[in-house]
Amino acid sequence: MKSPKKVLKHIYLPILTATVVIIGLYTLAHYLLIIQYHLIEPKEILVDLFLPMGIAALFAYLFVRPKVSFLVVKDKTEDFLSLISVFAIGVPLIIMQLYINTENGKLTPLKSTTEITQHPRTKYYQIDNYYAFKKFSSFSVSRKSANRYGTEIWINVHFTCPMVDTTQYYGSMTDLNVWIGKTYGQRFPNHKWDMKEQPEKIQRFIDKSIKEFRGYNFHPQNYFKRLTNSEERDNFIEAIKRVPQGDEIIQHVTILEPEEGTYATRNGSKLAWLIGTFLGFQLLFFLLIYNRPIKTRLLSKYQKLDSSEKIKQSIGIIAYLVPAKGRFATSLLVDINLLVLLVMVASGTNLMEPSSIDLLHWGANFRPLVEQGEWWRLFTSIFVHAGLVHLVLNMFALVLIGIFLEEALSLPEYLILYLLTGVISSISSMFFHERTLSVGASGAIMGLYGIGLAMILLNNDLKKSRGILSIGLLVIIGPTLFMGLIAPVDNAAHLGGLISGFIIGLIYIPIKKYLLETS
């Protein structure tokens, strides 16, 4: 039955109110904790992008999804409305953080770089006289994926050099406490068949960038932005570390980057975009739901539930994170992998694409380091992932096989076999790759699929064995190995886990069956 008033009262207005409250509270916390009182200094991308989108996704799933379920719509339409709500809160929330960053950024006018230590640190600087001292310039090279499949990469060369009053300015390298940075970037193909020529092409780009930087003239620019805790700043820090006494310099260095426009135009059109996206998405969402029929009985029934029952209904699939009978081991492993990524991100690691340095710090598998005695990497690398997408894909594969194996294996068996095949996959990766950094649970997960296939071959009494075969082969195993043929994916680890799991299953399952029958 169509009831626009009920839709407005019970669905749209609560969602609108909650959206405004979330944007307001998050922005207030950002302003007080980071901008005004500098109590914490997390990565910019975490505060400005990842947390807002994470909050928006949780809000859509936990709050919007239950409410749109009261509408008489198809499942796909319900999912679409939830997706729209993610953008309806996420996009304005992100723009709001960018806006308050620039709007509240103060400008310090300086006659020379030597004056910078005489003033409190600000976001923007105007420096009338300076010299880019390229004699002590340095650079670092960063690499990141340019698409979701890893078949293209971005290579960025980050140059930095001291900013001084004159070339006679300093007494020692540690006096060079103000540096200026510039980055050059280029996209490269990254298929397996590109690997032979890729190093040469990248080196030519680096050489070209060095030549361009040497001839680049900073001096017409006098308006700069100070880099705070960000991946961009980290790359310049890596460059400064390469100069003499670089480790001492970075302890107190200020890194500036030329900023386009003027201080008066620093906000650009952010405010217009903020208002436009907020009103636009709200209008779109309102028009999509306003004239929809509503499930009156379901709504009445829901309103009679107590708070705990409403929470249970809202949680949905998130309940799978709580270990319970029939999924204890799988949920436990998902939780551990998720927790590791959250701790990495909280410490400053990029959520979507961690750097190689961060992955090594958190325990990635790397043959040279393992051969130096860091054998623990064969184990820790199983729980470290190269970003959120990598984690989600692996956990999806784990859940698919886990719901079948948990009916055939005990908790200790499941965990031991998971870890054993995971370590074997790490050894396999290390054996075939001399200097490849390897992370992720995929080797251990492929090991579980190998065990599942062994159970099918041995006609083990699994109620859902055909499901394992069809899902495992068609959805996980085949595409995983195929991607390893065209993209730089660690197939050595995948095959190591799959084959070891299959062999272990062929040996262990008959032994277990025999012991149970004779006991």
| Catalytic machinery residues | 442, 494
CA–CA separation, 63 vs 281, rounded Å?
A: 17
What is the residue whose two structure tokens read 């005489």?
118
b/e 87-117 (16+ beta carbons within 10 angstroms → b): bbbbbbbbbbbbbbbbeebeebebebbbebe
Q: Are 184 and 222 in contact (CB under 8 A)?
A: no
Q: How far apart are CA 452 and CA 407, in angstroms?
A: 11
CA neighbor of 381 nearest in space, from 361, 395, 401 = 361
Which residue carries 């690398």 as its tokens?
381
Query: Each residue of 289-306: b (16+ CB within 10 Å) or e?
Result: beebebeeeebeebeeee
Contact assessment for residue 424 and residue 505, using Cβ atoms and an 8 Å cutoff:
no
Residues linked to residue 110 through DSSP beta bridges, in sequence order: 127
How many residues are given for the chain?
519
DSSP annotation string for 491-503: HHHHHHHHHHHHH
- Angstrom distance (rounded) from CA 346 to CA 351: 9
